[in-house]
Amino acid sequence: MKGCAENMKVLVIMGSPRKGNTYRAAKRIEEVMRSKGDVEFEYLMLKDMNLSHCCGCFSCFVKGEDHCPFKDDAPLIEQKMHDADGVIFATPVYGMGVSALMKTFIDRLSYIFHRPRFFHKKALLLSTTGATGLKDILDYMQLVASVWGFEVTNRVGIVTPPVAMSQKKELENEQKLKKAAAIFYDALMKKERRSPGLRDVIIFHAQKASFGELVQDSPTDHAYWKEQGWLRPQSKYYVDVPVNPLYNAIGWTAEQFLRRKIRKDMTEAQK
């Protein structure tokens, strides 16, 4: 993370096909953060990017992302996330889910679920809705960002109905956005990463079991995990941060159970 004297870079990955409520909410967060210090914002409008629809061929999982049959802007988008100090994932609620643009983006970069890499990046999740669906969307995006390696510092969802809002609702939305901006700004100023939660630890151990055992079926994943040092018996998490001993014990138990199951399944498949 860059120091206080340097310009912090925030990338907004915008899943809305227009500059509507979600875009305006992101701009308000930008205004609040800029009032606190030197922050540079870049808006990546997914509608303007060349992103192919994932065809489920598994090439990126088995052989690596360079073997994807589609040559589009996915590598460019990934590099922009690497270049930023923090990323805001922003999407409206469409049909009780993320927008099609956001889902295409997530699907296209799904190899990162197997080979996570953004452990030194912070993320803020933003969503807007006309009525309902915020919790499900934010839960989903939190899972995605967390498994990709981001430290999700906060999540904010606001209701922006297609009719005139009351002053109370407008004030409530404003307070939510200001709070989210302040928390995200403070998180970007800190170098350390907080300790993982129970779900994060369990996911690590589950992946460790899978990619540790499936050497032949997932050679690229196995090689990546081995290179990172995550397959070592003493590895407790992706990065060197304090891990709750109870969480680690639960994760280790889940890992051993999954290893035994994988070995059993592989033995039966060879019969």
pLDDT band at 6 (very low <50, low <70, confident <90, very high): low
Angle at 200 between CA 85 and CA 10, to 5 degrees: 15
Percent of the chain with pLDDT over 90: 89
* Structure tokens that stand for 51 in this block: 């992103």
Instruction: Give the domains, in start order, of the chain with CATH numbers.
Output: 8-189 (3.40.50.360), 198-269 (no CATH)
Answer yes or no: are the C-beta atoms of 72 and 50 closer than 8 Å.
yes
Question: Can you give the pTM of this predicted structure?
Answer: 0.93
pLDDT value at residue 168: 87
Q: How far is Cα 238 from Cα 75, in angstroms, rounded to an integer?
A: 23
Task: Read off φ and ψ for residue 264, nearest 5 degrees.
Answer: -65, -45
Average pLDDT for residues 108-118, to the nearest whole number? 97
- Give the burial string for 99-135 (b: 16+ CB within 10 Å, else e): bebbbbbbebbbbbebbbbbbebbbbbbbbbeeebbe
Matching residue, tokens 């308000």: 28
pLDDT score of 2 more than 50: no
Q: How far is Cα 151 from Cα 124, in angstroms, rounded to an integer?
A: 9
Average pLDDT for residues 118-125, to the nearest whole number? 96
If you average pLDDT over every residue of the chain, what do you get?
94
pLDDT score of 4 more than 80: no
